[in-house]
Amino acid sequence: MKLVVNEAPALKSAMDAIVNLVDEGQFEITPEGLSLRAMDPSQISMVSFHMPKMSFVEYHVEDTMKIGLDMAQLSNVLSRGNRGEKAELSVEEGRLVVRFIMDKKKRTFKIPLLEIGEGVQREPKIEFKSFVKVNADALKEALKDAKLVSSHVRFVLGSDSFIVEVKGDSGDMKAEFEKGSPQIGELNVNSDAKATFPLQYLEDIVKASSGGSMVTLNLETDRPLRIEYEMEGAKVAYYLAPRIESE
Domains and their CATH numbers in the chain: 2-112 (3.10.150.10), 131-240 (3.70.10.10)
pLDDT tens digits for 42-58? 889 999 999 999 999 99
Residue 156: its pLDDT value, please? 97
Indicate the pLDDT class of residue 221, thresholds 50, 70 and 90: very high
Mean pLDDT of all residues in 14-36: 93
pTM score over 0.75? yes
Q: For the stretch 51-71, what's the b/e string if a residue is b when 16 or more beta carbons lie within 10 angstroms of its beta carbon? A: beeebbeebebeeeeebbbbb
Q: Residue 109: what pLDDT?
A: 98
Which residues face 166 on adjacent strands?
Answer: 173
Sign of CA dihedral 220, 225, 226, 232: positive
Phi then psi dihedrals of residue 90, to 5 deg: -150, 175
> What does the alpha-carbon distance between residue 102 and residue 105 come to, in Å, rounded to a whole number?
5
